[in-house]
Structure 1
Amino acid sequence: MRYSAELFARLFVSPFLLTAAILLGASSGAVAQQERPAAQKLAPSLRRVAPGQAQTVRVSVRQKEAFLAWAQQALPASTLKAVPKGNGTVFQVENLTEAQLQQLSASPYVHFVDTSNRRAHEERQLNQSDLSVNRITTVHSRFPQLAGQGLTISIKEDAFDPTDIDFKGRVVSSSLFKEAASPHATAIATLAAGAGNSAPAGKGVAWQAKLATSTYDNLLPDDGATLTQAGVSVQNHSYGVADIENYYGLESQAYDQHCQQYPSLVHVFSSGNVGTTTDTQGRYAGISNVANLTGQFKTSKNTLSVGATDLLGKVAPLSSRGPAYDGRIKPELVAFGAGGTSESAALVSGSSLLVQQAYQLQANGSLPPSALVKAVLLNSADDTGRPGIDFESGFGQVDAAGAVQTIRDQHFFQGSANPSSLRTYSLTVPAGQQELKVTLAWTDPEASPTAAQALVNDLDLELVHLASGRSWKPWVLSAYPHADSLSQLPKRRADHLNNVEQISLAAPQAGEYAVRVRGTAVAGPQAFSVAYEYSGGFEWVHPGSTTNLRPGTTNILRWHWSGPATTGRLEYQPLGSMKWQLLASNVALEQATYAWALPDTTTLARVRMVAGNAAFLSDTFTISQPQMPTVGYACENEALILWEPVPGATQYQLYQLGQKNYLEPYLVTTDTALVLTKAQMQIRYYAVAPLFGKLLGPRGNTIEFTEQGTACYVKSFLPRTVVTDTVLFDLEIGTTYGVKSITLERLSGQSVQAIQTISPVPGRHLVFQDDTPELGRNEYRARLDLANGQVVYSSAEAVQFTRPGEVQAYPNPIVAGDLLQVLVAETGPARVQLFDMTGRIVRETTDEGTIRVLPTVGLAKGMYLLRVQAGSGAARTTRVVVL
């Protein structure tokens, strides 16, 4: 047995460590952790090892010193290393044969043998997001004080770009940042906590939170003390491994233990993007489209796994499904993810931060336990797909506004269960509510990887209507390994499998209810959290007061409906019109969305849903095209920023990004231009939004005015072709404002000749022509005479002029070894030959283009004849002198 130097340092320096017996995975819980036979102490992927294939594994041990002594005798050719963050009882064992792997799993000192060398990968690239799907925009408009201030989210994967202006001033310094940032990680960080400085689309969920980076090179949890010191309260994991891993392994166990040790830290995982793949191992092997999570760490109990939906709330086909290996509900939640579950996880991570902040504002700055955040998110989620909980969407589509409202209304309880204890809490349901939901969650102790199921402490939830005495149990899914069973609707019964339980009640009677939490099988005190909400009626989600819809596009209208199945009439009204225009009749309110093809117009507008005698009006919103500023000129002492006028706009709001971390209002103007003085030019980022009276229209993308391709008036000055028989130049300027005239000048040595002058200047795009160029190389520039007397010049550009039917060669004379450039008016095929004075061909090319190149290396000094034959035309010749 070969020991690493690190292992000796860890194990043999301290006599105390030698004598300590740490039983990793030993459970103190009351639910029986039935041990599997020795063969099943192997992770599923290790049970089918090809003969002759050397393996590297991680192994958790019962008694450290006894295992090391055993391994030295039984596995002398293998290398043993202590695994960092393995609590001293997890080791990496390298170079194992199939027989030695079986021998290792049979060792009485080995608790579990897990796979090791796997490389995490990003869960697909991202497309675009729509924060209205999960009511995140509702939080931004309804609770503007909630933006993640004072909280920190960690992005665990490759490093994001710390220089992105959407993260300005909020990045926690780290040695993990690399020169080449990951676009995927940058997009994830933007979705979770982007400030929107670059564009409105760059605004994330918790847009003022701090951002920290981590690495998924290590699939075990990060050091908790380091995360705590950095202020991290949520960590996002938008990655997976190559294969389906639906089992409870050392990483799953470690994350559950991590959540126990750091009870306020929320871990959010993407479920994976292999929802149409079939697992080949475990209890659900061979059943199509189920149990296909991409990483054992995602089966942990105390974390959140998140699937993806489309814009209409339908679970995406590629979103990985549950159940977990033991039948538990996975994923717990879904969220919009146009690019896969990576995006969905980022939105849930940001929403978790908002829930934490809402709690902080009511709890003197303390963080809520992660079990409460989990209970609140699951309880407020909107049902999607099949009615009730399922193994595709879990508890439903995340509703950020509903979650925050639950905290603000203090619709939650926190308590602790002891063996056989019963805790009772009361709540009052007002009249007219359409649904009551109650969710229980607790951070369960880590389980043994060899246990048949992961639950350790079993709590049970019950709801009782006090006046009638009626009681309800949680919804429970069938976990039987058959496709028909897994697709069954949930039934009410006691749940002895999950550490989250939910009861929902349609059209609840008004009055007092008791929420009961029983410690059915608990070893020691077990903290828990309960969240509840009741709801009823109609509520617009999108559009809202800050919504802008783009003319001529199709947009999704969204609303909440809690009530019986019914239909309504959807109508639209441009502001100022007394008439409502019909969009659709007989719209099912429970469908909650409508795809609206907008008119190609700019206006303020409202929509309404008319159901029976009730009409539900939206806030006034804008239909307008966002304006991105352009640069008229950026001279040394002055710059001009311009934008197009917006029909109906009365003023324009200018924004700038200066010393502060966020884009901030700069000034309001009725003009469509902004002149910056030299002092004002120190701030370089600007954006603009129209104002329709008091209503703010859409802000366009932010520009850095020195990087828009416009220098001092001139954007571009280029010849049509660099070798030509007609000299034409295209000039583009940023603006005609203040420009008196523009002149094309030809430069000849120290002299300057005016060729063509245009005055007044009719537009920003101009064409200049020289009818009398000199044969060969000509150099030109554009001269701009301004109304204030100043003169601006473009850069100089050269043109090689050649007459039709002629051939020119440069340089001529030429030094032997240099490249001879042959100028030909025709760009098509042409044969170019160089003859010496005896008539022998010494160089030849048939290249196409206006410039043909001949090497002169090895040519003797003297006179040569250059001959060009283009197509069937006459051959042209000229002399070349080689020096």
Structure 2
Amino acid sequence: MKNFTFFSINRKSVSFLVMIFAFALASAQNSYTITFQDETIEMPENIDTFQWNQFPESAHLRDGYIGWVQFYETPSQSVQDLFAANGLDLISYIPHHTYLFRFPENTSISFLQNNGVRSIVPVEGRFKLSQDLKNGNIGNWATDGENYVVTLQYYPYVDAQFVIADLATQQISVKQQYAGSNNIDLVIPNDCLETLSNQPYVKWVEVIVAPSVPDSEKGRTIHRANLLDTQTPGGNNFTGLGVGTLCRDDGPVGPHIDFQGRHNGPLNPIANGSSHGDGVSGIIAGAGNLNPNNRGMAAGSDLYVVQYVASFLDTNTVTLINNGDVQVTNSSYSNGCNAGYTSITQTVDTQTNTIPTLLHVFSAGNSNGLNCGYGAGSQWGNITGGHKQGKNVIATANLFEDGVLVSSSSRGPAHDGRIKPDISAHGQGQISTNQNNTYQTFGGTSAAAPGIAGVSAQLYQVYMEENAGALPESALIKAALLNTANDMGNVGPDFKFGWGLVNANRAALLLQDDRYLSSTVAQGLTNTHTINVPANTTQVRFMVYWSDPAATPGADPALVNDLDLVVTDPSSGTHLPWVLDHTPNPVNLDTPATTGPDHLNNMEQVLINNPAAGDYDIDITGFNVPIGPQDYYVVYEIITDNLVLTYPNGGEALLNVGTHIIHWDATNTTGNFLLEYSLDNGSTWNTIGNAASTVTNFEWSVPNDVSGEALVRITSGAFSDTSDDVFSIAGIVGGVSAIQVCETTATISWIALPDAEEYDLYMLGDEYMEIVGTTTDTEITVPIVDGENTDFWYAVVARNTTEGWRTLRTVARLHSSGLLDCDPLGLDDIVLGNIVMSPNPASDQVTISLSDTNFSNFEVTIVNSLGQTLQTVNERALNGTSEATLDVSSYRTGLYFVTIEIDGQSTTKKLVIR
């Protein structure tokens, strides 16, 4: 790291320059040294002799001055408020009591002295340039002939047109301007950096973001998302309903029936080879309409699709998040490696603070093995893209289905030593949606991140149902995710798994049980919260989390507001949070977490095993709050069960061939695990196998049996848990096909499944596959609309109500529009042509009339859109009777189907009820 002492640009006052160096030498290596990018800077103690006329023209902007101001200590909240009230703008914080500022040109020096200011200096142009620009590290993507392509951030005290006009005088052209933002992409001559950086309106200049690269390489159960979306009667139904999820990826997605009725954005009319966004979208929000095994995390969320733009300032993204359509975004793209805190990082952190209900979820990257300059070789510090370095976002590591870390998954720390990745999810080897109603094998952190995005949408719905539809702040959702994650790798957080493997069920229970609180703390103050821990608790976790203000690009560390957590137990013992050693050395970075003060991260966790029952005091101190006051959440996880089976947990339908992975949560267990299954609701048990004490999943070869009373049990020493309810093991219906399709009816048939009592026919509705008919036969005829011109999807489930089992729904099949084996009715043309149904639409009664009485039997049946028979009327042709009148006054508004059968032959007409 370079040492630097202010400053070397031309001054109006030579005596001022001499004074600066004198103070810098006297105060070398003191507590007022700041770090900015790769340089340490000594701030001079100059307030007693400072005058505004000593500032250069490059620091004079409109009617004020721009510079760095340093206080003797972090100003209290009252001083911060006083500065704001007097129009003194502390723009952003640079660690060690220092701010980037804009003060009016008539600001009183004595006012600054009386309020704790120690040092005032202009910002030299070199500190407005990113490290890559200063060091000439310009990638080929950022060159245009002899020119550089850069992103410039200007101060909001001038308008964009003034900036653009002034740049034009320097032969600098605008490549991209972002509406509502102070960022502009420019093409600049390669010899004008110094001149550009010394323009008063220039706040920051960096190399344009590196090219976007997708992070590509059976998440519901390993994520415990299955427990939130059980798809069983009486079970949880948290599908992300009412939540907007945004896939920012490679453009159009689909078409695919797994997004039926919930897709917002461009569709691919034909397969074009760009299927990365399709895979991401399916993991977030796929409904499993085509194949129920491939259901995504948030199958009820509204899916929005846009093209990935690295700046996060594209009109589509900004509009969707600003107008509230979208709450959770996913971007599984990389832009460079270990990029540091850039203007894009600042953008995503700012967006979260501006819209507290917004959560950005990102892939961590697949760049492990690449040395990205952190200083510890190729196995550390290779998180890809500046946006992933954000404090208020989530970066996701990639796991195999058994929870093992994929070797390519990028590792932390962040550029300044903060914990990254934030959390882990299963990504490798997922099956997800592809174009044109197909599936693909999908992987990498690209697939892990949408798992977290989808689970987050589920948690949004959990919160909304507990709080009268109000949206949660993303800070609470992220805190719940981190604090309830299953610890993986080293004990405590680490730079491989982050805080661990996501556990959607525990996070949801935390929200449902109101195990969280929120408050505000200011500089130097302490809040105490008391939380009771019940007896027989095996583990308790307390976490404080806050959405931190955006940092200054280049600042190190990036943390602005620093809160401290201390927990005091009922015996007055104190407990400090986890801390990691971020020294750029492979041994240090892989050392398990210890405990102590944390001054890097915007979350801190205290974990206590086998805690004593009683009241615990949670002290939250504003250790350093330069931009306050700071809102925060305290979330707490109270684990009372050492062993919890999470899959299969009841209500599932498992195929009786192949394998399923059993999952469980284990806390403070030490013995190996014994796994067993029962086919008779626990009367007898059969051994599945044994698992090591260090794992929480097991691959089970499901027996070739049929049962509606199956259970799984897991045991470790004195601890045991069993499925909460029985589940089914059975085969699957075969030979499903459409054998006749007419204008208003379709007949579907299948091969009988042994011992099945009934079959449910599913068809694709407005959003999901829905039951439209039930039969004990092996075929069924159901009403459809416009069979000649309309496609329909169908599938079958077999059931045995007596034995309590059901099969997995078959993979949906498509009948493309067109009639199939639909012969003429064979009725006399006069009879068929003279059937009158009136009135239609109807509201009270409807009459069916035939002018011809040349028949012996006349039957009329009304069926609703689900295939349920509502009414049947029989009339005989006696004494010329040729009418049937039906009472429809109790029917709901909608479309119905009226079947008229004449001497064993029939026709169906549509009836509208109003």
TM-score by length of 2: 0.69
CA distance in 2, matches of 1:662, 1:789: 34
Match of 2:242 among 150, 160, 166: 150
Q: Which whole-Å CA distance do the structure 2 matches of 1:59 and 1:240 have between them?
A: 21
3-state SS of the aligned residue for 1:379? helix
Mind listing any 5+ residue stretches in structure 1 that lack a counterpart?
1-16, 715-787, 791-883
Structure 2 equivalent of residue 582 of structure 1: 687
Residues 486 and 168 of structure 1: CA distance in aligned 2, closer, same or farther (over 3 Å)? same
Match of 1:697 in 2: 807
Q: Which has the higher mean CA deviation after the structures are superposed, 501-510 or 67-76? A: 67-76
Checking the alignment, whether the CA contact within 8 Å between 1:146 and 1:357 is kept in structure 2 is yes
1:79 equivalent in alignment to 2:79 = no
Q: What is the CA–CA distance in structure 1 between the aligned matches of 2:556 and 2:165, rounded to whole Å?
A: 27
Cα offset, 1:294, TM superposition: 1.7
Corresponding letter in the other structure for 2:543: T
TM superposition shift of 1:567: 2.8
1:270 corresponds in structure 2 to 363
Which of 590, 597, 622 matches 1:487?
Answer: 590
| Rg larger in structure | 1
Cα distance in 1 for partners of 2:464, 2:681 equals 44
Post-superposition shift, 1:489?
Answer: 0.8
Q: Which residue of 1 aligns with 2:103?
A: none
Q: Does 1:27 align with 2:95?
A: no
1:654 corresponds to which letter in structure 2? L
Instruction: State the secondary structure of the residue aligned to 2:220.
Output: coil
Deviations 1:784-824 (A, max 9, x none): xxxx999xxxxxxxxxxxxxxxxxxxxxxxxxxxxxxxxxx
Structure 1 pair 166–583 and aligned structure 2 pair: CA distance change class (3 A): closer
Structure-2 separation of matches of 1:446 and 1:601: 58
Partner residue of 2:339?
246
Look up the equivalent residue of 1:195 and give its one-letter code: A
2:792 — aligned with what?
A: 684
Q: What does the per-residue CA deviation read over 1:554-589, in whole Å, with 9 as the maximum and x for residues that have no partner?
A: 32211111223123432223338954222224x345
* 1:301 matched to 2:301: no
In structure 2, distance between residues paired with 1:521 and 1:112: 25
Rounded Cα–Cα distance in structure 2 between residues aligned with 1:432 and 1:584 = 30
Please tell me the residue identity of whatever aligns with 1:331.
P
Where 1:463 maps in the other structure, the secondary structure is strand
Contact kept in structure 2, 1:122 and 1:184, CA below 8 Å: yes
Select 2:153's aligned residue among 60, 63, 85: 60
Secondary structure of the residue aligned to 1:131 is: helix
Does the aligned pair in 1 maintain the 2:565–2:621 contact within 8 Å? yes
Instruction: Name the residue aligned to 1:431.
Output: 535
8 A contact 2:266–2:305 mirrored in 1: no
**Corresponding position of 1:311:** 401
CA distances 1:173-216 after superposition (whole Å, capped 9, x unpaired): x5798876742212222221222222213422221111222222
The verdict on how the C-alpha distance between 1:537 and 1:104 changes in structure 2, with shifts beyond 3 A counting, is: same
Alignment of 1:282-293 (within 5 A): 284-285=374-375, 287-293=377-383
Secondary structure, aligned partner of 1:361: helix
Matched-pair contact (CA < 8 Å) for 1:462–1:473: yes
2:669, 2:741 → 1: CA distance?
Answer: 65
Alignment partner, residue 880 of structure 2: none
Instruction: State the distance in 2 between where 1:379 and 1:464 align.
Output: 19
Distance, in Å, in 2 between the alignment partners of 1:634 and 1:33 is 78
Residue 559 of structure 1 contacts residue 593 of structure 1 at CA under 8 Å; is this kept in 2?
yes
Deviations 1:359-391 (A, max 9, x none): 222222221211111111101111111221001
Shift of 1:247: 0.7
Distance in 2 (alpha carbons) for counterparts of 1:679 and 1:34? 68
**Aligned residue among 663, 683, 690 for 2:769:** 663
Q: 1:100 aligns with which of 169, 192, 204?
A: 192
User: 1:486: Cα distance to partner?
Assistant: 0.6
Amino acid across the alignment from 2:628: G
Superposition pairs for residues 784-863 of structure 1, below 5 Å?
none
What corresponds to 1:620 in structure 2?
A: 726
CA contact (8 A) 2:164 2:174 kept: no
Superposition deviation, residue 220 in structure 1: 2.5
Shift of 1:398: 0.6
CA distance in 1, matches of 2:245, 2:541: 29
Establish whether residue 525 from structure 1 lines up as the match of residue 619 from structure 2: no
Using the TM superposition, give the Cα deviation of residue 680 of structure 1 relative to its aligned residue in structure 2, in angstroms.
9.1
Secondary structure of 2:409's counterpart equals: coil
AA aligned to 2:365 is: G
Q: Which range moves more in the overlay, 133-142 or 227-236? A: 227-236
Match for 1:123 among 215, 236, 251?
215
Give the distance between the partners of 1:651 and 1:73, measured in 2 at CA: 76
Query: Counterparts of 2:157 and 2:680 in 1: how far apart (Å)?
Result: 75
For residues 484 and 560 of structure 1, the distance between their equivalents in structure 2, rounded to whole angstroms, comes to 30
Letter of the 2:331 counterpart: H
- Alignment deviations for residues 34-89 of structure 1 (CA, whole Å, 9 cap, x no partner): 8998556443544323897531101223476599789959973322467314633x
Bigger drift between 18-27 and 517-526 goes to 18-27
Structure 2 residue aligned with 1:760: none
CA separation of 1:656 and 1:507: change in aligned 2, threshold 3 A: same
Structure 2 equivalent of residue 342 of structure 1: 446
Would you say 1:541 and 2:646 are equivalent positions?
Answer: yes
The letter for the 2-side match of 1:712 is: D
**Map 1:400-799 → 2, pairs under 5 A:** 400-465=504-569, 467-522=570-625, 523-535=627-639, 536-575=641-680, 579-585=684-690, 587-604=691-708, 605-612=710-717, 615-618=720-723, 619-627=725-733, 630-636=736-742, 639-658=746-765, 660-676=766-782, 684-693=792-801, 694-706=804-816, 711-712=820-821
User: 1:685: Cα distance to partner?
Assistant: 2.0
Contact (CA 8 Å) 2:546, 2:602: kept in 1 or not? Answer: yes
SS at match of 1:190: helix
| Structure 1 counterpart of 2:91, one-letter code | A
- Whether the aligned pair in 2 keeps the contact of 1:633 and 1:713 (CA below 8 Å) is no
Q: The residue matched to 1:643 in structure 2 has which SS?
A: strand
Question: Would the aligned equivalents of 1:656 and 1:666 in 2 still touch at CA under 8 Å?
Answer: yes
* Partner in structure 2 of residue 866 of structure 1: none
Q: TM-score, normalised by structure 1?
A: 0.72
Q: Mind listing any 5+ residue stretches in structure 2 that lack a counterpart?
A: 1-60, 68-88, 101-122, 429-442, 824-903, 907-914
**Pair 1:513–1:613, CA change in 2 (3 A):** closer
CA change 1:677–1:487 in 2 (3 A) is closer
Q: Secondary structure at the match of 2:508?
A: helix
Tell me the matched-pair count: 687
Given residue 208 of structure 1, which amino acid in structure 2 is its aligned partner? G
Report the Cα offset of residue 170 of structure 1: 2.0
- Residues 696-731 of structure 1: CA distance to partner in whole angstroms, max 9, x if unpaired? 321121112337x995399xxxxxxxxxxxxxxxxx
Give CA deviations for 1:144-188 in whole Å, capped at 9, x if unaligned: 34222222111112234364222222233x579887674221222
